[in-house]
Amino acid sequence: MSKIIDGKVISSRLREEIAREVEQLKKAVGRPPGLSVILVGEDPASQIYVRNKEKTAKELGFKSEVIRFPDTISENDLLRKIEELNNDQSVDGILVQLPLPEHIDEFKVTLTIAPEKDVDGFHPVNMGRLLIGKPYLVPCTPLGIIKMLDYEGIEIEGKKAVIIGRSNIVGKPVAILLLQRNATVTICHSRTRNLPDIVREADILVAAVGKAKFVKGDWIKEGAVVIDVGINRDENGKLVGDVDFEEAQKKASHITPVPGGVGPMTITMLMYNTLQAFKKHVGMEGEQ
Ligand code: NDP
């Protein structure tokens, strides 16, 4: 039986640390870190995400504001608002909740956010810095995965890591982070051949596919570490990951559950990134 990597426990420890640091810095700097979240439209999932982000930010002592726009806002007006926030000295982090309505170009939006305030880490400058080994703000989910592995004392160096998924927000950046920690990394995707055989070689498996229970128990190598990023509903409407948890936990040494694994870490890393952006903004050294 494997050890469950409890994202809620790790998150709450990290959040305590962040809150303590925010408290100290608030006194030293004279203001709290500021996070501005832009929400366009009424997408129900986005509303929940944004509400959780705002709630967590406030709990940790940040100044947090949610700027809501109807889905009829023009691209120009949205870009103008982002530029205003770029120039606002009380704002350290800017996040535009995705997805955006079709008439708005997401890439243009990402490009408009100042890289030093881009707490999602999606701006090409932040992505490029990550790639060349000079990270500034790193995408939250991949960063949360590395923090979980470190928290559990799981060695990365020299391990064979297999990532299923090559999205810009999860698969690619987590692959780069694992590579920088000296894992030997294989990235798989929908055109990969013999996927189960490749997964069977993984010491560390990261599943970021978006398909319920896609990874079967007999794909898992004995003693592997399994990180399940997926958030899916099964045929009964129950929240499940990309990995068949019941089966995989018989083989894995460590495994993340869904819910309660990677999910809570993502929002915690958003707070972590906002704190790093704040520290850099006020001339203190941030860290990754
Ligand atoms: P995307 O849909 O952007 O990417 C999915 C990836 O899976 C693609 O690279 C795709 O390959 C690959 N894929 C699809 N089908 C197969 C297949 N049959 N075999 C191998 N690879 C396949 O998803 P995201 O990366 O954005 O998210 C992945 C999952 O993680 C989702 O469930 C999402 O909800 C969840 N998520 C969870 C977060 C959290 O905080 N816990 C944060 C972000 C995402 P190809 O590129 O060839 O199409």
Q: Does the residue 150 lie in any domain?
A: yes
- Atom nearest to 232 CA in ligand 1: 32
Q: Supply the CATH number for residue 106's domain.
A: 3.40.50.10860
Same domain, 153 and 105: no
Q: Does the residue 286 lie in any domain?
A: no
Q: Does the residue 15 lie in any domain?
A: no
Q: How remote is the CA of residue 165 from the centroid of ligand 1, in Å?
A: 5
Which among 64, 79, 114 is the end of a domain?
114
Contact status, residue 192 vs residue 162, Cβ threshold 8 Å: no
Q: How remote is the CA of residue 167 from the centroid of ligand 1, in Å?
A: 6
Tell me the one-letter amino acid at 78. Answer: L
Range of the domain at 104: 29-114
Query: Is the CB of 230 inside a 6 Å radius of any atom of ligand 1?
Result: yes
Give residue 103's pLDDT: 98
For the CA atoms of 187, 139, 183, 222, the dihedral, rounded to the nearest 10 degrees, stands at -70
- Compute the 3-state secondary structure of the chain and give helix, strand, coil in percent, each to the nearest 5: 45, 15, 40
Query: Is the CB of 262 inside a 6 Å radius of any atom of ligand 1?
Result: yes
268: left (phi over 0), alpha (psi -120 to 50) or beta: alpha
Give residue 286's pLDDT: 65
Give residue 65's pLDDT: 97
Average pLDDT over residues 38-57: 96
Q: Supply the CATH number for residue 253's domain.
A: 3.40.50.720
Q: Report the mean per-residue pLDDT for the chain.
A: 97
Model confidence pLDDT, tens digit, residues 227-282: 999 999 999 999 999 999 999 999 999 999 999 999 999 999 999 999 999 999 99
Q: Does the residue 54 lie in any domain?
A: yes
DSSP 280: H
Query: Is the CB of 164 inside a 6 Å radius of any atom of ligand 1?
Result: yes
Give residue 1's pLDDT: 79
Q: Does the residue 185 lie in any domain?
A: yes
CA–CA separation, 23 vs 33, rounded Å? 10
Q: Does the residue 219 lie in any domain?
A: yes
**How many structural domains does the chain have?**
2
- Return the bridge partners of 163, or none: 187, 206
Same domain, 201 and 163: yes
Average pLDDT over residues 129-146: 97
Average pLDDT over residues 62-85: 98
Residue 186 has pLDDT above 80, yes or no: yes
Tell me the one-letter amino acid at 17. Answer: E
If DSSP codes are grouped into helix, strand and coil, which group holds residue 210? coil
* 110 membership: H or E segment, kind and range: helix 106-112
Model confidence pLDDT, tens digit, residues 7-24: 999 999 999 999 999 999
Neighbours of 13 (CB within 10 A): 12
Same domain, 256 and 153: yes
Give residue 288's pLDDT: 61
Model confidence pLDDT, tens digit, residues 86-107: 999 999 999 999 999 999 999 9
Same domain, 153 and 94: no
Same domain, 166 and 89: no
Which among 67, 97, 114 is the end of a domain?
114
Query: Is the CB of 7 inside a 6 Å radius of any atom of ligand 1?
Result: no
Q: Does the residue 212 lie in any domain?
A: yes
